[in-house]
Chains A and B, each alone.
Chain A
């Protein structure tokens, strides 16, 4: 059930990221969602609040804990299994996200935070049109 993503298909995470990116980075930076965002590409299980589970590869987790999975095996409350190609789980419905055993949680959080800071510093330089020396830290975007 491998799906070939054609180049013409917009990644559903891109438009949302552009609109909410500043706010989402702040939310992510201040919560454990930043750990979940380090799960991109990992296969894991998500337990939903209604006692069902979904196991698949993490495509994206946004700041609101909405989770995109692909190649999913979904087990409903009664234990029935279904295969689903792509799945979007609303953040509110997530009870647990299993962290794969092989993942180093501290390192994942640190590298995710580092990514956020790099993006913020890059953005605040106006995409290259303004320059700041490294010692002079530009104003964080939220002030």
Chain B
């Protein structure tokens, strides 16, 4: 049995509320209730006020399923990474032992490999609402980018410059510097950013005049680390015995 908690439906930032929606978790029907697609979390509550909620960072994917061979009714499929809560794990493992999982639920309780998942299906009685349920989830999911993203280049320098805000907020002050005024107002950081961006722009423009992928011009300094392969030094057939996987 999945343990439902007595939670409160969200009151703020609710993008979509879909009543008469059955929830099925790893093949187990939880009953008919209401789905709340809110900006902070996704939650579902049955008639008695019991329900569960999902945090968007835990949701791996969601999709509209109209394939009745996989599941008899059209529904919104949500794949959650991990199991819903620690107290559920024991129940899930037990259920997996008994349950064949052959109704398309794919129960993974008891799987030790990485990526234990929970499959949830939200089956609305109004099938026409699936598109808006899907879209609402897309919007909310996009509000929760991965905070553990290794790519730290997502931090950019300087203040985010909102064009609309500047125009509405300051009627008499020029919104934009002319090139000359602007350059003298740059901080050191700003100057560095400008140089970097200009460099990137110049690079991408310059490369338009080269054959795609073929470097016909000067070698770039960043590649001169002594690791360049001198093309003339290779012998014919030098690499023929190499084990290459394509």
Interface residues of A (CB under 8 A from B): 1, 3, 9-10, 12-13, 15-16, 20, 22-23, 26-27, 29-31, 48-51, 54, 62, 64, 66, 68, 72, 74, 76-78, 80, 82-93, 104-107, 110, 113-114, 117, 123-124, 126, 129-130, 132, 136-143
6 closest Cβ pairs, A-B complex: A50-B115, A12-B138, A87-B63, A136-B179, A64-B145, A84-B63
User: 1/0 contact trace for B189-232 toward A, CB 8 Å?
Assistant: 01001100100110010011000110000000000000000000
Please, which residue of chain A has its CB at the minimum distance from the CB of B56? A90
Q: Which residue of B lies closest to A11 (CB)?
A: B135
CB distance from A137 to the nearest CB of B (A): 6
Q: Which residues of A contact B141 (CB under 8 A)?
A: 66, 88, 90
- Roughly how many angstroms separate A13 CA and B159 CA in the complex, as a whole number? 25
Contact assessment for B190 and A86 in the assembled complex, using a CB-CB cutoff below 8 Å: no
User: In the bound complex, do residue B193 and residue A142 qualify as a contact, i.e. CB atoms below 8 Å apart?
Assistant: yes
Pick from B91-99, B170-178, B234-242 the stretch touching chain A: B170-178
Having A16-B139, A83-B67, one finds 17 other A-B pairs with CB under 8 Å, namely A1-B66, A3-B64, A27-B153, A51-B115, A64-B142, A66-B145, A78-B106, A84-B77, A85-B64, A85-B66, A90-B59, A91-B145, A92-B149, A132-B178, A141-B161, A142-B161, A142-B193
Q: Are A91 and B64 in contact (CB under 8 A)?
A: no
A9 vs B196: C-alpha distance when bound (angstroms):
40
Which of A76, A86, A107, A143 is in CB contact (< 8 Å) with B158? A143
Most buried by B among A10, A23, A92, A141: A92
Whether the Cβ atoms of B204 and A114 lie closer than 8 Å is yes
The reply to whether B142 and A9 form a contact with Cβ atoms under 8 Å apart is no
Q: Which residues 119-153 of B have a CB within 8 angstroms of A?
A: 131-132, 134-135, 137-139, 141-143, 145-146, 148-149, 151, 153
Complex Cα spacing A93 to B57, Å: 10
Interface positions, chain B 43-60, Cβ under 8 Å from A, are: 56-57, 59-60
Q: Which residue of B lies closest to A138 (CB)?
A: B176
